[in-house]
A and B are shown apart, each in its own frame.
Chain A
């Protein structure tokens, strides 16, 4: 397969490549309109476009491209496409995915296209400014939707393809190994606290209550809301099968909740767990959530080190990546405190 030569930093080139692909697949009469970049993220390049006349798939779309220079490069569309496909038709608000490929034929990089859902992203620091009752209701929906993701049957669904024999006893260890391997790849420098944390995580890995679809980045900032309703759960690039407590630990991290141990600095943990249990029937073990909070910080440090590597290699010219590298020590200190508190 011939790799397309497209400069992904040049929006006009990306649009032209996409227009050529649309013309070849949907016909020359279908035009790409209102093509624009949506966010300035570090990972997938996210773009919005409309098609006119609208094909049966719809009129409004999101295109995501995994650039060879991105934070988690090399990319694959598989985890997100499989997760979204597994939840399609469920009561979890996820966009439908239409076209995707891990091949280089369109952009020289993996890409996938989903339906564009209505709504705005609520950022961690903007939720503080929303009226408490409205924000509280949104966060309760956020918890209920998480419970539905975890209760969703997956064994006969597409995501089972990446299950690789996972069970309740090795769910945590698989994630520790995955991120430890990335740390080794990204950081030539040894961080004793990371070695300490890896040892602690391995020694305290809990048995999962069940194996579930895990979003992997479930937090404020990764969902859409419109008029008080959560309209879509976004950013499935770290989706995998694992312990449902993993998403709870991540979502409850103080760094995603204005520094608070309460969800969105509004809802106490006990209420989060009650809501969650009532929705899906999975009993929350607070000790497992504490374990996964420590794991989440370990993973955060790994991501920060990935950003450092990406910046140092000159793959990505974004000073915010260098800025992420400055957060390694504060996050390690938080990780140490979290491990101490979990004992």
Chain B
């Protein structure tokens, strides 16, 4: 997810409260939506993006960093010396920060490659490791992304399925 959970909750709640409820006819249906609002407010106070996908991404980064250290390319980027996940690593924001710090390092390796000829053995070897990591990262992200509903969101009509 690229948005913060708080911001998403905030706007779902605003939409239901300000736009949906005034359009609904009948107290029974409105009561149900107030129930949904109350439950969402409860969730808002208790949830964060799931830690498991982030942990998988950070592990994939650590695997990449191990491989890059073994390759020892002449690149001026300092890699973490050991796996960054520990049993007591907190979830939520800290995991997100670890994942993003790891990806910033990966991007620096990619930028380093830009200064080297395309067929140079070091670059070829580095690129193979980097692209394998990026494919893994995207697969992990996509595994948690539902099928898009842009036809419905543009037309306001159910598309079936």
Q: List residues of A whose CB falls within 8 A of some B CB.
A: 123, 125, 189-196, 199, 202-203, 304-305, 308, 311-312, 314, 317, 319-320, 322-323, 325-330, 332-333, 336
Is A322's CB under 8 angstroms from B11's CB?
yes
Task: Report yes or no: B7 in contact with A332, Cβ–Cβ below 8 A.
Answer: no
Shortest Cβ distance from residue A265 to the other chain B in the assembled complex, whole angstroms = 14
Task: Identify which of residues 102-161 in chain B touch chain A, using a CB-to-CB cut-off of 8 Å.
Answer: 103-104, 106-107, 110-111, 113-114, 118, 130-131, 133-135, 137-139, 141-142, 145-146, 148-151, 153-155, 159
Contact of B14 with A by CB under 8 A? yes
With beta carbons under 8 angstroms apart, the residue of B12, B113, B114, B159 that contacts A125 is B159
**Could you tell me the distance between the alpha carbons of A125 and B141 in the complex, rounded to whole angstroms?**
26
Can you pick out 16 interface pairs between chain A and chain B where the beta carbons lie within 8 Å of each other? A189-B2, A189-B103, A192-B107, A192-B137, A196-B130, A199-B111, A199-B114, A202-B114, A304-B2, A308-B3, A311-B3, A319-B15, A320-B153, A323-B149, A326-B1, A336-B131
A123 touches B155 (CB 8 A): yes
The answer to whether B48 has its CB under 8 Å from any CB of chain A is no
Q: Which residue of A lies closest to B3 (CB)?
A: A322
Residues of B within 8 A of A314 (CB): 7
Q: A192-B106, A195-B110, A199-B110 are in contact. Are A330 and B100 (CB under 8 A)?
A: no
Q: Which residues of A contact B131 (CB under 8 A)?
A: 196, 336
Query: Which residues of chain B are near A196, meaning CB under 8 Å?
Result: 110, 130-131, 134
Q: Do B12 and A319 touch across chains, with their CB atoms under 8 A apart?
A: yes
The 8 Å CB contact of A332, one of B104, B138, B148, B151, is B138
Q: Please judge, given known A-B contacts A203-B118, A312-B3, whether A195 and B111 are in contact too, CB under 8 Å.
A: yes
**Contact present for A192 and B134 (CB under 8 Å):** yes
In the complex, B29 has a CB within 8 A of chain A: no
Interface residue B8 (Cβ < 8 Å from any Cβ of A): yes
With A203-B114, A312-B3, A326-B1 as given contacts, are A192 and B130 in contact (CB-CB < 8 Å)? yes
> What residues on B are CB-neighbors of A317 within 8 Å?
11, 14-15
Residues on B facing A (Cβ under 8 Å):
1-4, 7-8, 11-12, 14-15, 100, 103-104, 106-107, 110-111, 113-114, 118, 130-131, 133-135, 137-139, 141-142, 145-146, 148-151, 153-155, 159
The answer to whether B145 touches A326, judged by C-beta atoms less than 8 angstroms apart, is yes
In the bound complex, CA of A192 to CA of B104 (Å): 7
State how many angstroms separate the Cβ of A174 from the closest Cβ of chain B. Answer: 18
Known: A190-B104, A322-B8. 12 other contacts (CB 8 A): A123-B155, A190-B107, A194-B107, A305-B2, A308-B3, A312-B3, A312-B7, A317-B15, A323-B149, A323-B150, A333-B139, A336-B135
B10 to chain A, nearest CB (A): 8
**How many CB-defined contacts (below 8 Å) exist between A and B?**
98
Assembly CA distance A116 to B74 (angstroms) = 61
* Min CB gap A199→B, angstroms: 5
In the complex formed, the residue of B with least CB distance to A305 is B2
Partner of A333, one of B118, B138, B155: B138
Are B12 and A192 in touch, CB under 8 angstroms? Answer: no
What residues of chain B lie closer than 8 Å to A320, measured between beta carbons? 153
B11 to chain A: closest CB distance in Å?
A: 5
Q: Which residues of A contact B130 (CB under 8 A)?
A: 192, 196
**Minimum C-beta distance from B42 to chain A (A):** 20
Choice from B8, B110, B150 contacting A192 with Cβ under 8 Å: B110
Shortest B99–chain A CB gap in Å is 9
